Structure 1
């Protein structure tokens, strides 16, 4: 299936397309090279053009990011977005059993990759930084796509798809903050090097490490710690569901506090 047809399908008729995607046997390399990598380039390139070529206009002035810095930020954001999709899929795979679903690393990657379509396509609005609200709207639509795809790909019951989606989105937001911080470092370190990814293609061995070479040196994400953290998130997800079903507002609030504390324990690069 062509890239354009798949984008059109997942954006316009997601309820019909998700079961089709679930039945497909798509390898990690094929999914990345034929779909994720082309789409991930949209926000990266648009962001570079918007910040370094067109600039941000305010009070009659046009502010532009230096070309060298802009190029490095583009490469960093592109590379780390690929890694982020992989790591979020690992988290989603680990969470599935806790919400009545089944672990399936291939389906978890397809779920995260295809549901990210709207957000990645919405990255085109980065050409005009003032249109950031449009990018935000596209991100919200990606969350909706994720919610629709959960029952088909992770076999999570529909009544549990919402809390599963909510927990996974929280994990994604935390990772997004880490990515933005890493990319932002480029603005202050200058062109000291361009990041590369090692070991991110091994979907069958999530207990290894993912290493990213940044301008400040190598950053390694311990997949073992990510799995352990995901298990804690899974346990809290079950407690949240139990509190919701029991109508126990005090327990519900307590779980939310624990989730907030757990966010601070999110494994970061070392």
Structure 2
């Protein structure tokens, strides 16, 4: 959030200028300290949430695969995790309606991970719109109609993505902490990466088949979070009743 002030030196004495400037500088710092949910944004435009003020949000991307999603859901159930957000590609959801139903039934939040796995920064607005609209139709056919969140399939987004998502009624969600489970660096490394989680973080995991070590690492990660007394919430709950700060996206 940027503030620009123009003072006419002919109209103000030097002392008044100094006092006024100091006042606004102090106000800027004060505002920066009370804002709640950091976000990327276009200038004066739609925002992409990447961090909250408190609590912790576990998020899972699923774009393809038949093997990893169900074991992760089993672990969340076993560890009594009631809140998490799953970003699902429309094409994956079409192929796995039973798992989509289970995610909804067990109380987890669903966000859209596009339809196809495409880099939105390389697409024109029309193509982004078509991809999200196709995903929207896929979820409606599965009776999932209350989706409010979108995550760019590759994690890369720009002004076009934010504008299209906003036009379709979605908020783009990024993350503040990446477990890097998608690189399969080893269970201990995933646990170590996630151990940096603190209040307000949106933590990124994957439940696609390419993330082969996530399910093994997850129980200890959840236990570490509980030991920190961090409450697990959905991204929507983290966003609720919160103001935002913005970093301009070119």
TM beyond 0.5: no
What's the TM-score once normalised by structure 1's chain length?
A: 0.24
What's the TM-score once normalised by structure 2's chain length?
A: 0.26
Identify which of structures 1 and 2 has the higher relative contact order when contacts are C-alpha pairs closer than 8 Å and 6+ apart. Answer: 2
Structure number with the higher helix fraction is 1
Structure number with the higher strand fraction is 2
For the pair shown, the structure with the greater C-alpha radius of gyration is: 2
